[in-house]
Amino acid sequence: MTTLVTPDLDLRASWAEAVEEFGERDFMHGSGLWDFDVVDVSPEGAPALIAALLAQADPATPLPEGRVHCTYFWITDGDEFVGYLALRHSLTPWLLEEGGHIGYSVRPSRRREGHATRALALGVRRAADLGLDRVLVTCDDDNDGSRLTIERCGGVFEDARNGKLRYWIDTGAPAAGDE
Ligand SMILES: CC(C)(COP(=O)(O)OP(=O)(O)OC[C@H]1O[C@@H](n2cnc3c(N)ncnc32)[C@H](O)[C@@H]1OP(=O)(O)O)[C@@H](O)C(=O)NCCC(=O)NCCS
């Protein structure tokens, strides 16, 4: 069953496998790890990475100019890490144009099993918990997997800007992928 959980050291081993699997070529959307020069997922390095991710959800944490608070989730299936979902609490001008509120990725070996669709539906619920009435979710115009994920979750297409398709999801409406 697909769940969204708070990043946790208990998932470190399958997380580390997934990071290896994504490799250099496959960008880990929604991971928050692009902020780090070194992504050390070893037992020694992982605690600091996880702590830094969790801190970004706390409104009391000061952030650099142009950044917004963000709750990072890990997508799991049972006790296995299968992907990332980031829920940004607000939009900057760039996020409104292109980035959106929610970003996600699923590890390559677990794609096309419905995890992204179910995770996005769960992420929309978490957005409602944050008080957001609707969320912006975007994807590249040639990313069919992400586009279908958004559409399955009730995304209403607004427009395309700079190669990004922009959809709004009403957080109060039930989504097809919702469980
Ligand atoms: C996009 C991504 C998150 C989809 O994850 P997933 O778990 O495979 O998605 P789902 O299994 O929920 O599939 C959702 C729909 O997209 C379809 N789909 C998934 N990957 C697809 C692909 N590569 N090409 C065409 N359709 C695809 C599925 O068949 C499904 O359609 P259906 O509802 O008609 O059956 C995943 O491919 C990924 O991590 N890609 C790299 C990161 C990325 O692009 N993130 C999104 C940034 S906007």
List the domain boundaries for the chain.
2-170
Average pLDDT, stretch 103-112?
A: 98
Residue 175: is its pLDDT beyond 80?
A: no
| Residue 73 CB–ligand 1 contact under 6 Å | no
Beta bridge partners of 142: none
| Residue 149 CB–ligand 1 contact under 6 Å | yes
2-170 adopts what CATH topology? Aminopeptidase (3.40.630)
Q: How far is ligand 1, taken at its centre, from the CA of residue 145, in Å? A: 3
29 token code pair = 């959307």
pLDDT of 80: 97
Determine phi and psi for 17, rounding to 5 degrees: -60, -40
pLDDT digits (tens, 9 = 90+) for 63-86: 999 999 999 999 999 999 999 999
Residue 174: is its pLDDT beyond 80?
A: no
- The atom of ligand 1 lying closest to the CA of 143 is 44
Q: How far is ligand 1, taken at its centre, from the CA of residue 12, in Å? A: 24
3-class DSSP state of 82: strand
Q: Show Cβ contacts of residue 36 under 8 Å, excluding neighbours closer than 6 positions.
A: 49, 52
pLDDT of 35: 83
pLDDT digits (tens, 9 = 90+) for 113-143: 999 999 999 999 999 999 999 999 999 999 9
Residue 50: is its pLDDT beyond 70?
A: yes
Percent of the chain with pLDDT over 70: 97
Question: Could you tell me if residue 163 is left (phi over 0), alpha (psi between -120 and 50 degrees) or otherwise beta?
Answer: left
Residue 159: is its pLDDT beyond 80?
A: yes
Q: How far is ligand 1, taken at its centre, from the CA of residue 63, in Å? A: 31
- The atom of ligand 1 lying closest to the CA of 111 is 8
Average pLDDT, stretch 99-124?
A: 98
Q: Which of 134, 112, 125, 142 is nearest to 179 (CA)?
A: 125
Nearest-Å Rg of the Cα atoms of the chain is 15
pLDDT of 177: 52
| Residue 139 CB–ligand 1 contact under 6 Å | yes
pLDDT digits (tens, 9 = 90+) for 12-48: 999 999 999 999 778 899 999 988 888 999 999 999 9
Average pLDDT, stretch 147-159?
A: 98
pLDDT of 104: 98
Residue 178: is its pLDDT beyond 80?
A: no
Q: How far is ligand 1, taken at its centre, from the CA of residue 29, in Å? A: 13
Strand order in the sheet with 134-140: 134-140, 164-170, 156-161
pLDDT of 176: 56
